[in-house]
Amino acid sequence: MTSERHKVVIVGCGFAGLFAARALKRAPVEVVVIDKTNHHLFQPLLYQVATGVLSEGDIAPPIRDVLRHQSNVSVMLGEVVDVEAANRVLTVDTLGHATRVSYDSLIVATGASSSYFGHDEYARHAPGMKTIDDALELRGRIFGALEIAELAPDAIAREPWLTFAIVGAGPTGVELAGQIAELCRRALSSNFRHFDPKSARVILLDGVDHVLGPFPERLRRHAQRDLERLGVEVRLSTQVVGVDDEGLDIKSADGATGRIAARTKIWAAGVQASPLGRLLAERAGATVDRAGRVEVQPDCSLPGHPEVFVVGDLMALNGLGGVAEVAMQSGHHAARTITRRLRGREAKPFRYLDLGTMATIARFRAVVSVGRLRFTGFLAWVMWLFVHVAFMTGFKNRVAAVANWAVAFLGRGRRQRTITKQQALARTTAPAPQIVNTNGSPAVAQATASQR
């Protein structure tokens, strides 16, 4: 790589950033990919890491390895903490070391994180599902709760540990609820001596009156029926108005209030754009929408800064949703626009090709919507499987995932159940152990009740 080449810096190597980098493979440019993690994450399968189906390595290959054959790309681990749009320079923090990186063109693809709708204090008790850290923490909490249930002295002490509450009935919430239900009803038989995992309650809550918001009505109803058949309690038109260590406060549409005692709470209710979007908008004189997404021109560039592109979940354009296809196509478009301009050609507006939506509910059950076509059940699940294998990054990851799926879906196993105390208690500090009795009887539930 020579320094005279046009330098494209891509911030974020999720779907949008990776597709942008790949689209520049044959372009006469030098590419620098910066990400605050060392891996490219396949977010749609995070819930399977949390529920012991897949390992984190299956869905998060190292970025360096993914891009190793693309000689015009170099990879940098670091979080972009500042942007000087006027000087075309970024400040990057790599494990406490600051570096300044200049660019000729910039593609910002830093995605989104969980939104607690102004109640960030809920995060401590109800992790979201956006990163490998989140998924491993949730895995620690789910399997940790089952361990504590095994030690509980009676059914009353056990119940909150065997209650799993998921807030948000969009695709992530539905997939999580289905997987936790299947884990408890199917995969864990004969694993515990003092309770039957089938007795676990899985509760899915949402403030609106349907599951799977982005899907057509018929598929929503189908998905809800499938969940209920799996034993998931679907509570719609129910708002969560409080979250603490021991459970959730809820309010239904008729104003009635209530309480759910649940030690494991998972937040799948909302997203907000990565904070870099707001910072970039301030520095470049752009605007953000209510979710903090940066409003872009039809070609995905910033007004007044044709050299800066914002793509993927961070981009606000034509009401496009935060889905993987939008990210891939917009990343690809930004890269192609840079090469078009280098060849002296005009930029074209971004046109999104909607390839449909899908969600899986449990093994052999999914819903798929493609244009006017609707699929449910086994056929939809096979389609889901095919698409996910096709879009996973790396041959080895595909093979590993298919092997793990065979174990989990054809058999009953969940091989990826390793948990660590560090992960399970990641957001909290573990209190000093409190000895309740010394006669060896399983009476530690009250002592451990304050762990989270």
Binding footprint of ligand FAD on the chain (CB under 6 A): 11-17, 34-37, 41, 43-44, 46-47, 79-80, 109-111, 129-130, 171-172, 274, 276, 312-314, 322-325, 327
Choosing from 4, 175, 182, 233, the catalytic residue is 175
Report the candidate in 88, 117, 110 with the shortest Cα–Cα distance to residue 277.
110
Residue closer to ligand FAD, measured from CB, 59 or 152: 59
**Which residues touch 401 (CB under 8 Å, ≥6 apart)?**
45, 54, 58, 59, 388, 389, 392
Residue closer to ligand FAD, measured from CB, 376 or 448: 376
Phi, psi of 352 (to 5 degrees): -90, 130
Consecutive H or E run containing 414? none
Which two structure tokens, joined as six digits, stand for 27?
């372009």
Nearest distance, CB of residue 276 and ligand FAD, angstroms? 4
Residue closer to ligand FAD, measured from CB, 78 or 160: 78
Strands 163-167, 271-273: pairing kind: unpaired
Cα separations (Å) of 137 from 141, 246, 264, 424?
6, 17, 11, 5
Residue closer to ligand FAD, measured from CB, 274 or 404: 274
CB count within 10 Å of CB 270 equals 15
CA–CA distance, 247 with 245 (Å, rounded to integer): 6
Which two structure tokens, joined as six digits, stand for 82?
């500042």
Residue closer to ligand FAD, measured from CB, 112 or 424: 112
CA–CA distance, 268 with 166 (Å, rounded to integer): 7
**Is-contact 241 258, C-beta < 8 A?**
no
User: Would you give the DSSP letter of residue 11?
Assistant: E
Q: Tell me which residue has tokens 């320094």.
A: 3
Nearest distance, CB of residue 110 and ligand FAD, angstroms? 3
Nearest distance, CB of residue 59 and ligand FAD, angstroms? 10
User: Would you give the DSSP letter of residue 377?
Assistant: H
CA–CA distance, 11 with 76 (Å, rounded to integer): 10
**Which residues touch 315 (CB under 8 Å, ≥6 apart)?**
293, 294, 296, 300, 326, 330
Residue closer to ligand FAD, measured from CB, 79 or 150: 79
CA–CA distance, 21 with 250 (Å, rounded to integer): 45
Nearest distance, CB of residue 222 and ligand FAD, angstroms? 17
User: What radius of gyration, in Å, describes the C-alpha atoms of the chain?
Assistant: 23
CA–CA distance, 261 with 232 (Å, rounded to integer): 16
CA–CA distance, 50 with 175 (Å, rounded to integer): 11
Which two structure tokens, joined as six digits, stand for 179?
């997987």
Helix (H, G, I), strand (E, B) or coil at 198: helix
Nearest distance, CB of residue 452 and ligand FAD, angstroms? 21
Residue closer to ligand FAD, measured from CB, 67 or 80: 80
Residue closer to ligand FAD, measured from CB, 314 or 444: 314
User: How many degrees, rounded to 5, is the angle at CA 145 between CA 144 and CA 148?
Assistant: 90
Is position 175 annotated as part of the catalytic site?
Answer: yes
Report the candidate in 316, 397, 296, 409 with the shortest Cα–Cα distance to residue 362.
409
Nearest distance, CB of residue 398 and ligand FAD, angstroms? 17
Question: Which residues are known catalytic residues?
Answer: 175
